[in-house]
Structure 1
């Protein structure tokens, strides 16, 4: 657990800076003179870059040692910290965030892979819950951390404060992290990686182009995404180099968990972006209050992880997965129906229920899916879970930010326009919540609880 804690704390720093930046968007827009659709790339670009690195994690686990992967993650985080803290133009800030994404991209899959190496299958739920407890404290602290620093000092302190912590963890990791499986000299499949990376980037950039009204560019990029995806599948039939195994998609334990997993992440990251900006625009709250509304829910999101994992190990999948998805959907339905009438306090309480339900279903999705897979496919599934999580987060931030600002009704105030756009986003998430419940029910129906 000491090794897992060190790696998890490194991921914690990456997620802390990611969630802290969400509450600083209005300040960044003023400081760098950029639009919301541009500044959201601080989050979307970060998540997309992390996704591309996570895509290689099954290969990385087999090719390099745990210590090498950890040290590189810590170095990338530290370099990104320096670039962001000293940024004088937005491109420098964005470059720093993209480099920093390498930390989460390397360390988050590494943490799970180490657990898979040493923990018995019957206890995966509890141990993954403990590891997630460390990581998920970051979203609890991030918005408040970022909002407080933006209000009382400067958003640059987010990076100056985390830099020495990253260096300390790098030193600890070098002395404590060990190797549990033998590294293999595998050949990396650059062609398939390039095609899949092209598809993912074209998807996210294409969605952004839609929001900016660049229709020709948007349709062109989405066509490129389809072409690159088709090329990836075609090349996968004959490739002899290693990226990850597509055999996992033939396993129901993976497929019917993977789809809800990425849907829950889409909703979570998108809502974590939307709500702090929503209360600032609709209720005239400060950036600090925008961060504080997420704090109670995020705390329960983190501290509940070991309990949710124990529920899975003790009672099976039905209780935590279906109960969690139901709480998740019901809370968003409240946002959709009563949003403007809730006020800041109401938003805080409803988000608390959302966070408990989403966390219960989301964290147990991975544990339940990995438990049902053969040992030789677990690293590949982990790579896809992590990649899907990051891509869904990037798409969620992009789509919900576009929906939030898509209403431009003449004569309406900004608060009225944001309210209408956000309400459309809430109803989209309600529909996705119903899909998640249906997929879980399809997977769990033939089984005993």
Structure 2
């Protein structure tokens, strides 16, 4: 029923200009972003093969993923400027070309620097396409239907993380890691051709001067923060402190310059809007938890229960399916019932799932962990996507591109932090009288406990959000 209603509504949606089929445009852009996320998550399973092929360490090869995420976050920072300065077709064509060039560099890589360069170039695809998809929806979809349409578009992008590890593992096992890039190349070329004919413009452009200084400061802050957190595991505390100080100084200078800058990056006035601030903070926290626990649980069941790597991946599958395919339903709930139901229910399920893991721990067994993760994933997905949709509904139209840029940049930047923090907690316990499995179980209990605390914090933030925004983002608008 929901999908049939969506199709009927999509036919009736027409832009202000004479271009047709705006939702086909959204699908093309979303599929391009899907390819970027698919290659990103596929690479996580190729680390042993890459280490052997290029004779590099694990700490070096992980930059294939962490460098990609960081580069994507930096490009997303510019999306508010890009939206105002360039056309939809220009942005899409650029992103498709970046993906194709990166694909070719990676597929033919003869050295690790060439592979890494290809991955950093490909990060521009996701960095441009993901915000572009939402910006097009904001241009052509009525505000009262934003939840459903953002949910439909997110299905395409969120299926990629579920398929990525399986796709990457299978391709690497039966062929070569290079085939990940050769197989996605024809699809990227097809989308480039389709997009060149279908993507049109739904808003006017303005010539703006880009603020390279503030962009550089934010980029330096993000790099220093990520390097500082990843250095914690090596116990080089002076280096960690120096990097975190650099991050703080860059942010301080950025904020000071933002008061007087006449060049454009994004508008900081969006932080004065309760609809943004109190949806943005839960959004970041939910992404922190999601990426962190997706790393923790496969390792947890292998280390504590002695499960195989295959089982470690399969325990995430049921939750990942609901994470992707449930998006239209969660968005429909927001449009028809307002924010209270999906936000508070989602956070409640999120908290119940991690509370079960924290309280029961090894007594749950593999099946119990799978069920708890399923509950967690349904709740996290329901709250996560609707945090953005609710916030965008309640914001003035002029500030929506700025908010969209920050939502997208934030979720990319905070993901690596979640992995770092939860992995540190997981391995933090070293009781001399315990086995390795017992120490991992105890450390993981601390990680689960942190997520329970975050679930309670998110509830408080949502409570403030719902009270401060009132009826400005209700489903009846």
TM-score, normalised to structure 2, is 0.88
1:136 paired residue number: 158
Residue 387 of structure 1: how far off its partner (Å):
0.7
Residue by residue over 1:368-408, the C-alpha shift from the partner in whole angstroms, topping out at 9 and shown as x without a partner, is 00011111000001011111111111211232233334445
Relative distance call for 1:46 and 1:293 in structure 2 (3 A) is: same
Residue 42 of structure 1: how far off its partner (Å):
3.0
Aligned partner of residue 266 in structure 2, secondary structure: coil
2:9 paired residue number: none
1:181 paired residue number: 203
2:231 to 206, 209, 231: 209
Structure 2 Cα separation of the partners of residues 38 and 337 of structure 1: 36
2:416 to 394, 405, 426: 394
Structure 2 Cα separation of the partners of residues 76 and 277 of structure 1: 34
Aligned partner of residue 188 in structure 1, secondary structure: coil
Matched, 1:261 2:280: no
Structure 2 Cα separation of the partners of residues 46 and 180 of structure 1: 30
Corresponding residue pairs, total:
449
Greater Rg by CA? 2
1:326 paired residue number: 348
Structure 1 Cα separation of the partners of residues 131 and 419 of structure 2: 22
Of 399-408 and 302-311, deviating more is 399-408
1:166 paired residue number: 188
Residue by residue over 1:41-94, the C-alpha shift from the partner in whole angstroms, topping out at 9 and shown as x without a partner, is 333222111111000000011111111111221122223233333445544433
Structure 2 Cα separation of the partners of residues 79 and 69 of structure 1: 15
Of 263-272 and 154-163, deviating more is 154-163
Residue 14 of structure 1: how far off its partner (Å):
1.2
Correspondences of 1:9-24 after superposition (within 5 Å): 9-24=31-46
Relative distance call for 1:277 and 1:48 in structure 2 (3 A) is: same
Structure 2 Cα separation of the partners of residues 281 and 76 of structure 1: 39
Relative distance call for 1:428 and 1:152 in structure 2 (3 A) is: farther
Structure 2 Cα separation of the partners of residues 92 and 347 of structure 1: 40
1:311 to 324, 327, 333: 333
Of 225-234 and 83-92, deviating more is 83-92
Residue 206 of structure 1: how far off its partner (Å):
0.7
Residue 261 of structure 1: how far off its partner (Å):
0.4
Aligned partner of residue 298 in structure 2, secondary structure: helix
Structure 2 Cα separation of the partners of residues 158 and 409 of structure 1: 42
2:266 paired residue number: 244
2:372 paired residue number: 350
1:193 paired residue number: 215
Do 1:16 and 1:138's aligned partners in 2 also have CA atoms closer than 8 Å? yes
Residue by residue over 1:106-153, the C-alpha shift from the partner in whole angstroms, topping out at 9 and shown as x without a partner, is 000000000111111111111111111111111221232233334444
TM-score, normalised to structure 1, is 0.93
Residue by residue over 1:139-178, the C-alpha shift from the partner in whole angstroms, topping out at 9 and shown as x without a partner, is 2212322333344444433323222211211111111111
Relative distance call for 1:146 and 1:360 in structure 2 (3 A) is: same
Structure 2 Cα separation of the partners of residues 24 and 86 of structure 1: 16
1:377 paired residue number: 399
Aligned partner of residue 48 in structure 1, secondary structure: helix
Relative distance call for 1:88 and 1:246 in structure 2 (3 A) is: same
Structure 2 Cα separation of the partners of residues 40 and 329 of structure 1: 30
Structure 1 Cα separation of the partners of residues 113 and 193 of structure 2: 31
Of 158-167 and 85-94, deviating more is 85-94
Relative distance call for 1:147 and 1:285 in structure 2 (3 A) is: farther
Matched, 1:359 2:376: no
Of 193-202 and 159-168, deviating more is 159-168
1:270 to 292, 295, 298: 292
Question: Once superposed, which parts of structure 1, at least 4 consecutive aligned residues long, lie more than 6 Å away?
Answer: none
Structure 1 Cα separation of the partners of residues 460 and 338 of structure 2: 18
1:122 paired residue number: 144
Relative distance call for 1:94 and 1:340 in structure 2 (3 A) is: farther
Residue by residue over 1:198-226, the C-alpha shift from the partner in whole angstroms, topping out at 9 and shown as x without a partner, is 11111111111112222111111110111
Aligned partner of residue 180 in structure 1, secondary structure: coil
CA RMSD of aligned residues (A): 2.2
1:81 paired residue number: 103
Structure 1 Cα separation of the partners of residues 310 and 178 of structure 2: 16
Instruction: Tell me which of the two structures has the higher relative contact order, counting C-alpha pairs closer than 8 angstroms and 6 or more residues apart.
Output: 1
Residue 303 of structure 1: how far off its partner (Å):
1.1
Matched, 1:224 2:223: no
Correspondences of 1:437-448 after superposition (within 5 Å): 437-445=459-467, 447=470
Of 267-276 and 77-86, deviating more is 77-86
Do 1:144 and 1:288's aligned partners in 2 also have CA atoms closer than 8 Å? no
2:90 paired residue number: 68
Of 164-173 and 28-37, deviating more is 28-37
